[in-house]
Amino acid sequence: MLVAHPGGPFFQRRDEGWWSIPKGEPEENEEIFAAALREFREETGKEAEGPFINLGSIQQKNGKQVYAWAFEGNWKDGSIPKCNVISLEYPKGTGHMWTFPEIDRAEMLSPEDAKRKLKEEQRPFVDRLMKLLRTTTTEE
């Protein structure tokens, strides 16, 4: 599974439980799936190619609803995503602006390692994908 580590000074020393699937917010009048494809491209520099497996949604602790789709693909180990950058004030209240990549690295991990690295709320996506893959395999 491809999981991404957030960029920026706050996340530099954070690892297990801080990674995420590539994701983002839909723009006004944008369909959720179209937003997922766009965000994947913006955060990784790669195009997502189907067929796609709908993994449903979860709600994160901050209230954000996250929708996910899986697809088969490859990721070169150690490659750094070519993603968009964001700017924010850090530390807050100092007036010092930082610009950094939204994602500083992405890795293709086993389901077990992905669950260890992912935010707790996103771990059900791994379980759902594995269950769907087992069901598909036993039906063939």
**Per-residue 3-state assignment (H helix, E strand, C coil) for 12-52:** CCCCCCCEECCCCCCCCCCCHHHHHHHHHHHHHCCCCCCCC
Whole-number Å distance between alpha carbons of 26 and 94? 30
Higher pLDDT, 137 or 57: 57
The three-point CA angle 22-60-10 to 5° equals 65
139 pLDDT more than 70: no
CATH topology of domain 2-139: Nucleoside Triphosphate Pyrophosphohydrolase (3.90.79)
Q: Which residue has the tokens 């964001």?
A: 86
**Residue indicated by tokens 């700017």:** 87
Domain boundaries of the chain, sorted by first residue? 2-139
- Side chain identity, residue 8: G
Q: Taking the model in full, what pTM does it have?
A: 0.85
Give 84's pLDDT tier (boundaries 50, 70, 90): confident
Contact 117, 17 (CB under 8 A): yes
pLDDT of residue 98: 86
